Structure 1
Amino acid sequence: MNIAIIPARGGSKRIPRKNIKDFCGKPMLAYPIDAALNSGVIDKVVVSTDDDEIAAIARQYGAEVPFIRSSTLADDYTGTSAVVRDAITQLQALGWPLNYCACLYATTPLLTANVIRDSLQQLEQSGADYVFTAARFSFPIQRALVMTDSGGVAPFDPASIGKRSQDLTPAYHDAGQLYWAKANSWLDNSKSIFGANSRMLVLPDHLVQDIDTPGDWQRAELLYNMLQQENA
């Protein structure tokens, strides 16, 4: 069985209740649930939450909530991997025969069913421990600048500041959307999402947007509406 696990705690601070806040007509959480269910490669979508309202909305849009997450795993410091490991352990205890498990973030309205399919295919074909979505930095990180204590400017990497962009190694960042692995890889602490045996599915910039601030939310809505118009 292939599943998607969506961590969605109730205690978001920067944008209160952002996991179920209305985004272009639907609760934010509905978007990754829909993408997973429409991907054709996920048998069940599980939402891991500590919040009864979030659980109800998850079920409304087709996800399952077989357990309520412990409050000890719903604070500001618990990492995603710990939440996914907890979910896998609980589901296995319920007798679920888990194979591939995707972690999808709750605030990913730009995530598509195609990306879910393509990233699983990449995992199956590559033999990697993990496959995750990523994006390329639009500006060479080697030419970053820092502000000095006196308010002046200094290069972050003095050896690279004068080099041409095309002579610098491209750099990428986690898109904060999706992470695929086998269930036993998630449970193996020696395997890292960002390790040597992981692979990236690199997405175009217009499919990637972190949503941590009201400004991020507005940009995500603009991108989502633009993509809807193009698809129409």
Structure 2
Amino acid sequence: MRIAVIPARGGSKRIPRKNIRLFGGRPMIAWSIEAALASELFDQVIVSTDDEEIATIAIEEGATVPFLRPAELADDYTPTKPVVSHALRHVQSAEGALVSHACCIYPTAPFLQPDDLKKGWQAIEEGGFRYAFAASSYPYPIQRALRQMPSGGVEMLYPEYRTTRSQDLEEAWHDAGQFYFGDSLAFIEELPVFASHSMPIALPRWRVHDIDTPEDWLTAEVAFRALFDGRRPE
């Protein structure tokens, strides 16, 4: 049995009610639920939430909400893995079903496509990886990064690359913050994601938006509307 777990607590601070605020004409979480369902990879698409309104909307969008997340797993500092582990244990205990794999999908991933999830599953099933996760490349070499000094001036973080040509520097990648596919034990044992047992699934930069501030939201919504006119990316 494979499940998707969408963690969506109700207490977001920087963008109030972020997980169900309208984005592209739909509650934000609806896009993640739709991608999970459309992938046809999961026996259940579960929304883990502590919020009754989010639970109602999630069910309307086709997800299941078999429990309300306990308060100790719904504060500002709760990591993702314990939330997924809690959902896994609940399904296995309440339904007596063995869950072999889980995929944590963030509720603020409107650019996520079903094929991204399929590639993640393929990496695990055929490549033997414990995790697969969405990633994207930095648009500028991180070896040429600068830091601002207290005086107001700048210095290079890596001065040894001061004269190295950009094209000669190694490409660097970052977590795209969209999904983390893994076997159940990897989540339960809280194995680190960013390790040699994980396969990054490369996404184009234009489909990667970290939506944490009102400015992030505006940027993502403008891009979504301009590129897709409210339709699922193809």
Per the normalisation by structure 1, the TM-score is 0.96
The DSSP-based 3-state class of the residue aligned with 2:17 is coil
Identify the residue that residue 57 of structure 1 maps to in structure 2: 57
Task: Report whether the alignment pairs 1:117 with 2:138.
Answer: no
Identify the residue that residue 212 of structure 1 maps to in structure 2: 212
Deviation (angstroms), 1:106: 0.4
Determine the C-alpha separation between the residues in 2 that align with 1:41 and 1:106. Answer: 18
Identify the residue that residue 161 of structure 1 maps to in structure 2: 162
Determine the C-alpha separation between the residues in 1 that align with 2:17 and 2:215. Answer: 16
Deviation (angstroms), 1:137: 0.3
Regions of 4+ moved over 4 Å: 229-232
The DSSP-based 3-state class of the residue aligned with 2:201 is strand
Q: Deviations over 1:108-136 (max 9, x none)?
A: 10001111111111221110110000000
Deviation (angstroms), 1:24: 1.2
The DSSP-based 3-state class of the residue aligned with 1:50 is coil
Task: Report whether the alignment pairs 1:69 with 2:57.
Answer: no
Identify the residue that residue 20 of structure 1 maps to in structure 2: 20
- Between 7-16 and 219-228, report the one with greater CA deviation: 219-228
Identify the residue that residue 174 of structure 1 maps to in structure 2: 175
Q: Deviations over 1:174-209 (max 9, x none)?
A: 0000000011221123x2111121110011011110
Identify the residue that residue 134 of structure 1 maps to in structure 2: 135
Contact in 1 for aligned 2:41/2:118 (Cα 8 Å): yes
Deviation (angstroms), 1:18: 0.4
Deviation (angstroms), 1:226: 3.2
Structure 2 portions without partners, runs of 5+:
none
Deviation (angstroms), 1:91: 1.3
Determine the C-alpha separation between the residues in 2 that align with 1:227 and 1:71. Answer: 38
AA in 1 matched with 2:36: A
Q: Deviations over 1:22-59 (max 9, x none)?
A: 11111001000001101121221000000010001110
Q: How many residues align?
A: 231
The DSSP-based 3-state class of the residue aligned with 1:142 is helix
Structure 1 portions without partners, runs of 5+:
none
> Percent identity at matched positions?
46
Determine the C-alpha separation between the residues in 2 that align with 1:221 and 1:147. Answer: 31
The DSSP-based 3-state class of the residue aligned with 1:159 is helix
AA in 1 matched with 2:168: D
AA in 2 matched with 1:20: I
AA in 1 matched with 2:129: A
Per the normalisation by structure 2, the TM-score is 0.95
